[in-house]
Structure 1
């Protein structure tokens, strides 16, 4: 007999509504309750999930009896506090959007949660589950003979408008290299299977949002960066970010090279931004380029149009929710843990510190040892 999984939603801005659309594509799921304080976002969410009760607080949402899990898609600064509310009030399985936290001083709070929360906590790292990137990761060892160099390039559109312009300012978003790029630092660790030991970065605000003013303040969020990361196993990785390059054919380009060859993934941006006069949007590609015999092998990685229409992340949000639902039902373990989410943020914070100071930042991401010291 199948069991319906009932979801509670905290936050229904752009990403929250993408979660709603993808949950509704899964069989045996129901949106039971939604907490979204902004009236426009609440109205939009009700249009996607008309069966859901609209709730006026996190506590009231957690009082909803028919609730099996919670998705947190609120602004970044709220994530840690809302996880703590769940822990105190009703510690249900939870999928929490990235970044898990925005300030280094929040590590001790997360350490207590990580060590005591009795239900699964899954950090939403959608990029892992993009079909071309998932295939890239699956083929990585065979194609490269052992990864030595990893390059991630994202050339994309500027930050979109969010309620209260929270994503325009470092203090409320955590900064670009945390808010946006923790996805990529997570991919680096996942692909290289080692821990970072040194981060060097150069970044700044060159083009975007410089003529905007909110409550008398001009945005200070960065729009471009280079980040180089050295790993303990000798591999190195580089991130190139440009957020004023939406005219590019592909939004993400990822390459890995080793002694046997090279593998690349090319991921298009959201189809809704692709100009109609150019015809159909591009299809994701995977290219393997062995050293011998030389010659690239091109594979197209099409994604179900229904999944592309449900969000901006190349179908990944659906595949992530398939796995999260299985974790809620006890059918598989959490794949993106609190520890993973913390390490991705700490790499972003180190990159921002490096860009500001002009110096390389040494890292020791032994999270459990560090948290034991924090919490003692």
Structure 2
């Protein structure tokens, strides 16, 4: 079994999660961790059992022992780091998004194609056992022709205002996962209609963003869908998907976090996932495992460049729909 020299770029929240998972992959040998914060870099180095640290990600990319880069840096740095890694001939795994603008995303992904290097975007839900099994059953025709789709995504609390300023807005930061799920389970989307409001934190309105949203989807295969998003669910991370077809429906929902119900006088108690990091803990491991397997086998990793691009187009279409108060066909987003 081949082992790939790997550089982890970014030692923040997602970087630490990837560090733990990389340490457990027999196909990955973490050569380096790069982060401008030396303390964070050393902490991730210990988790990943990495050989060394760099203050600059570019230095890690150019390390001759590095064959694969895992990018978990802040969003504005993704595009230049992907381009640098592609030019250096490294296989690339990158957290979403590639960039917040379509033209920049296209340019970067064209650099990846020109270099001929493997690329995977971090839509981890595709590797969650519930989502993956649902896709298999849909492909097997278990529920017949799909008629309706519904996805709910609610975070326990809004991110910091500093984070929100650079996030691209709710549709590109949060709802983009639901949009990718829609494509993954149902197919391409032709048209969206979005509504949004500020119901959680008035300061979010000052950023030109919303914290509560609803998006209607019209799919190319004739199915209809709805996506609900909120930045606040006081009981924890609230996420579910329903795919309804002519012969039944599939529901993806993980409740409770611990498979235990305490029945007592007056009812019962169960716990709940609080954040996406614990809800999709297994999916984060499985997506990296699949990426390294694809690189070793010489197969294109998935989700790939096209998925990164099309999810972004849906997010941009939803953003335009909200701002212009009208349905937007995805083909308008060029």
8 Å contact kept, 1:227–1:351:
yes
Deviations 1:292-334 (A, max 9, x none): xxxxxxxxxxxxxxxx998552410111011101122125431
Q: Is 2:248 the counterpart of 1:261?
A: yes
Cα deviations by residue, 1:190-229 (Å, 9 ceiling, x for unpaired):
1113x22111001233214739xxxxx9655432110111
TM-score, normalised by the number of residues in structure 1 = 0.78
Distance 2:62 2:286 in 1: 29
Counterpart mapping for 1:274-289 below 5 A: 281=271
Alignment of 1:148-163 (within 5 A): 148-161=147-160
In structure 1, which of residues 181, 193, 197 is the aligned counterpart of residue 190 of structure 2? Answer: 197
Shift in Å, 1:60: 1.3
Shift of 1:65: 2.0
CA distance in 2, matches of 1:5, 1:92: 11
After superposition, residues 1-376 of structure 1 pair within 5 angstroms as 2-88=1-87, 90-140=88-138, 142-161=141-160, 166-169=162-165, 172-193=166-187, 195-208=188-201, 210=203, 219-247=207-235, 251-267=238-254, 281=271, 312-330=279-297, 332-364=299-331
Quickly say closer, same or farther: Cα 1:210–1:44, change in 2 above 3 A: farther
Partners of 1:323 and 1:332 within 8 A in 2: no
- The CA deviation at 1:110 is 2.8
Paired residues of 1:157 and 1:243 also in contact (CA < 8 A): yes
Provide the secondary structure at the position in 1 that maps to 2:240: strand
Residues 75, 173 of structure 1: 8 Å contact kept: no
Deviations 1:120-169 (A, max 9, x none): 011111011111121222223544212111100112212445xxx64221
| 1:21/1:310 contact within 8 Å kept | no
Q: Is the 8 A contact 2:153 2:175 kept in 1?
A: no
**Counterparts of 1:325 and 1:74 in 2: how far apart (Å)?**
20
Q: Tell me the SS of whatever aligns to 2:86.
A: helix
Distance in 1 between residues matched to 2:75 and 2:301, nearest whole Å: 21
**Separation of aligned partners in 2, 1:251 and 1:331:** 37
In 1, Cα distance between the equivalents of 2:145 and 2:153? 24
Displacement of 1:189 in angstroms is: 1.0
What residue ranges of structure 1 are gaps of 5+ in the alignment? 212-216, 272-277, 284-307, 371-376
Deviation at 1:364, TM superposition (A): 1.9
Deviations 1:243-266 (A, max 9, x none): 211415x62111011111111110
Q: Distance in 2 between matches of 1:313 and 1:66?
A: 31
Q: Report 1 or 2 for greater relative contact order, CA contacts < 8 Å, sequence distance ≥ 6.
A: 1
Root-mean-square deviation (CA, aligned residues, Å) is: 2.8
Q: Is the 8 A contact 1:8 1:33 kept in 2?
A: yes
TM-score, L = length of structure 2? 0.87
Query: Cα offset for 1:346?
Result: 0.9
Distance in 2, matches of 1:85 and 1:331, equals 21
Provide the rounded CA distance (Å) in 2 between the counterparts of 1:356 and 1:309.
28
Aligned length: 323
Q: How far apart, CA to CA, are the structure 2 residues paired with 1:238 and 1:231?
A: 11
Distance 1:218 1:364 in 2: 30
> Which segment drifts farther, 355-364 or 260-269?
260-269
Asked if the contact 1:22/1:310 (under 8 Å) is kept, the reply is no
